[in-house]
């Protein structure tokens, strides 16, 4: 942590006599990719319409469907007006001023890795620059633009969903600050699809702005990495493979929040309550956030990745030599190697994450509530947090903690809606939850009872802050879980069991399957170093004497194993089933079981169910297809049985002797 230097970009604004003078200063911005003639938002649109690719397409459609070409051109203009970004410096300055006022009120600081962003600025000018931040909140858009504004970097052209476009007034404001809009589905609209791809090509090859997009595709409700999406990445990289640009530089960025603005909304969504539709009125209602405190925010800019260097010899220069460049598409070989870059970007985002004390408190409090007979005192919590901080730093985590007493006090103030100290004991806040006006037809799965929601939401919210830590712990947790099941075992058996379980959890804890063996070797060394495991004289491995950390590791992965096991039990009773039925039945069964024994409520979360279905599809136990009412799955019972037999021993060993904690029992 000491090697990373962060500057609080709010600090100078606190000292300003007037922030107006700063936001209205003369700005000499650094552009990403210098062009002979500086393009404008309108010139980009004209270049797209006049591009030979689009003109040939319009000609072909005109002949085939007997539609005047002029009419089709007008349709392309409508599409481009829907997609295209704009830049209005007055709007940008005005929003910057408003943002400063809000952030000074609700944030302790906005910390930026100064050296990295300055290094990125040095690289700008000769190649397209692509900013790839993690996506945990709607605030990501604003914070990225504010950081660029602060460091005199051109505000990026930002890929945004159509949800924002349809918000009254806000759509045009976002467009004026650089947002361009993309539909989540194209419904076989080939004209739209071709126009959008050409627009991206235009921004990459002829644009001066950096491009910003979210490789996970959507906000992560769970606050941990999602499997990367390849569609927009393919479009951005296409000019490199076609040799239209010398290189494309990707800058992975992690945005870490001490408190996430949407934390409660995410908790409800994970439990199946649909998110409200984005609207301007809802945005104004959300301005009540200025009454809350959100602590620190870290924007950690990573080392830029040269895609040319990354692909190296795999960047086949002879692959696109035949035929006009505008008629060429990515080859199968190109598409095969692009996912490796996507996973590398996600991996970099994970390593760049900054953990706050609340992340450590969440793990300790969650473990105490679900495994102990007595609540922790504040002093006991502090000792355990310091101990866990040391362990996590051994695992390579960046823990933001300058003075533990101040950080603890800050965490309890910022998160007083979740945790509190009563008579010297640490507990979670529970609120009444009114579901009477809930539209049952829009539920994603089973309608959980109000008592179960009251019981579950606080612990699900805690898990939102536990999840960012699990990237550092999951490999050692699996090793400990394997040794709990198999006891004393050889290195080969331990390794093969680890690889199998790590692949099962591939979508839950995102990594590239090609890196799993390396992760095992690293985790083996780390786990031995802190006595989680030990190597005997007989060249076998056993559990070590660090039982406290073993217990925590098992505790944090239990909900995932339980969810996966429940999904498998449902699937083994049918030959095919639609997704909503699977999710509904899983929640229904877990809710019933929670009344009889301790089952962590995070086991109810729909993200884990979906990740399990993806993993089973990856293992060919399921075949996924789109039906009339959404996705459905055909089950290969033989392969499903094999996976069940491999997972079930973990259920028996990891849940043995678990009973409903006394502090939680009366809530059900």
Give dist(CA 654, CA 668) in Å, integer: 23
Q: Which among 437, 502, 500 is positioned nearest to 470, based on CA atoms?
A: 502
| Higher pLDDT, residue 315 or 353 | 353
Arithmetic mean of pLDDT over the chain: 91
pLDDT tens track for 161-196? 887 766 656 778 889 999 999 987 777 789 999 999
Q: Which CATH number fits domain 6-259+294-352: 3.30.160, 3.40.50, 3.40.1130, 3.30.559?
A: 3.40.1130
What is the average per-residue pLDDT within 32-52? 96
pLDDT at residue 541 is higher than 70: yes
pLDDT the model gives residue 285: 55
Task: Report residue 205 as tokens.
Answer: 């090859």
**Buried/exposed code over 533-561 (b: 16+ C-beta within 10 A; e: otherwise):** beeeeeeebebbebeebbebbbbbbbbbb
Continuous segment of H or E residues that includes residue 517:
helix 516-529
Tell me, what's the pLDDT at 2? 47
Structure confidence at residue 628 (pLDDT): 79
Q: What is the token pair recorded at 447?
A: 């309608």
Mean pLDDT computed over 68-91: 95
Asked if the model's pLDDT at residue 658 lies above 70, the reply is: no
Bridge-based pairing state of the strands 179-182 and 157-161: parallel
The Cα 364–Cα 381 span in angstroms is 7
Split at pLDDT 50, 70, 90, the class of 495 is: very high
Once rounded to an integer, what is the mean pLDDT over residues 601-615?
A: 97
Give the C-alpha distances (Å, rounded to integers) separating 429 from 178, 339, 345, 647.
40, 42, 37, 34
* The predicted structure's pLDDT at residue 282: 53
Which candidate, 480, 464, 414, 475, places its Cα nearest to that of 601? 464
For residue range 346-381, list pLDDT tens digits in order: 999 999 999 999 999 999 999 999 888 799 999 999
Amino acid 317: pLDDT: 66
Range with lowest mean pLDDT among 297-311, 427-441, 442-456, 554-568: 427-441
What's the Cα-to-Cα distance from 516 to each of 191, 505, 562, rounded to whole Å? 41, 11, 23
At residue 660, does pLDDT exceed 50?
A: no
SS3 131: strand
N-term to C-term CA, the chain:
42
């Amino acid at each position: 942590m000491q090697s990373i230097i962060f500057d609080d970009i709010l600090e100078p604004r606190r000292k300003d006599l007037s922030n107006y003078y700063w936001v209205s200063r003369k700005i000499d911005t650094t552009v990403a990719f210098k062009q002979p003639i500086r393009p404008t938002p309108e010139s980009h649109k004209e270049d797209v319409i006049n591009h030979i690719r689009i003109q040939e397409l319009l000609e072909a459609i005109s002949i085939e469907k007997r539609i005047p070409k002029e009419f089709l051109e007008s349709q392309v203009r409508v599409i481009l007006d829907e997609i295209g970004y704009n830049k209005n410096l007055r709007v940008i300055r005005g929003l910057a001023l408003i943002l400063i006022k809000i952030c000074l009120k609700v944030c302790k600081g906005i910390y930026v890795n100064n050296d990295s962003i300055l290094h990125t600025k040095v690289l700008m000018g000769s190649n397209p620059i692509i900013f790839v931040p993690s996506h945990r909140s709607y605030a990501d858009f604003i914070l990225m633009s504010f950081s660029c504004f602060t460091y005199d970097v051109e505000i990026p052209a930002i890929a945004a969903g159509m949800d924002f476009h349809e918000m009254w007034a806000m759509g045009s404001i976002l467009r004026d600050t650089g947002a361009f809009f993309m539909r989540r589905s194209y419904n076989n609209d080939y004209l739209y699809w071709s126009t959008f791809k050409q627009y991206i090509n235009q921004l990459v090859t002829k644009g001066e702005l950096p491009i910003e997009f979210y490789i996970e595709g959507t906000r992560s409700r769970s606050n941990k990495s999602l499997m990367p999406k390849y569609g927009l990445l393919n479009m951005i990289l296409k000019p490199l493979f076609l040799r239209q640009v010398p290189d494309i530089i990707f800058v992975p960025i992690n945005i870490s929040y001490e408190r996430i603005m949407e934390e409660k909304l995410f908790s409800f969504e994970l439990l199946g309550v649909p998110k409200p539709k984005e609207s301007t009125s809802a945005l104004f209602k959300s301005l009540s956030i200025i009454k809350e405190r959100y602590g620190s925010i870290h924007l950690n800019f990573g080392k830029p990745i040269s895609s040319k260097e990354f692909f190296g010899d795999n960047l086949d220069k002879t692959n696109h030599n035949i035929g006009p460049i505008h008629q060429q598409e990515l080859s199968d070989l190109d598409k095969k190697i692009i996912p490796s870059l996507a996973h590398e970007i996600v991996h970099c985002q994970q390593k760049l994450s900054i953990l706050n004390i609340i992340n450590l408190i969440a793990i300790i409090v969650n473990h105490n509530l679900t495994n102990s007979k007595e609540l922790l005192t504040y002093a006991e919590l502090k000792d355990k947090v310091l101990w866990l901080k040391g362990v996590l730093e051994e695992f390579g985590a960046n823990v933001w903690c300058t003075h533990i007493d101040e950080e603890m006090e800050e965490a309890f103030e910022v998160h007083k809606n979740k945790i509190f100290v009563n008579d010297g004991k640490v507990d979670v806040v529970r609120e009444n939850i009114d579901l009477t006006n809930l539209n049952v037809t829009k539920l994603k799965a089973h309608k959980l009872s109000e008592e179960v929601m009251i019981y579950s939401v606080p612990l699900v919210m805690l898990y939102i802050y536990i999840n960012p830590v699990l990237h550092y712990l999951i490999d050692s947790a699996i090793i400990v879980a394997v040794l709990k099941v198999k006891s004393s075992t050889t290195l080969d058996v331990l390794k093969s069991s680890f690889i199998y379980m790590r692949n099962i959890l591939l979508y839950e804890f995102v990594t590239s399957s090609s890196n799993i063996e390396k992760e095992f070797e690293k985790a083996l060394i780390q786990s031995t170093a802190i006595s989680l495991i030990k190597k005997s004289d007989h060249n076998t491995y056993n559990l070590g004497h660090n039982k406290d950390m073993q217990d925590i590791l098992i505790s944090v992965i239990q909900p995932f194993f339980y969810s996966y096991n429940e999904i498998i039990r449902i699937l083994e009773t049918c030959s095919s089933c639609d997704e909503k039925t699977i999710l509904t039945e899983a929640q229904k069964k877990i809710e019933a079981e929670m009344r009889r024994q301790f089952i962590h409520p995070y086991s109810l979360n729909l993200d884990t169910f979906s990740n399990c279905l993806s993993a089973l599809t990856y293992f060919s136990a399921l075949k996924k297809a789109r039906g009339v009412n959404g996705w459905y799955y055909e089950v290969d019972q033989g392969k499903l049985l094999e996976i069940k037999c491999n997972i079930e021993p973990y259920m028996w060993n990891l849940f043995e002797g678990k009973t409903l904690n006394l502090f939680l029992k009366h809530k059900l």
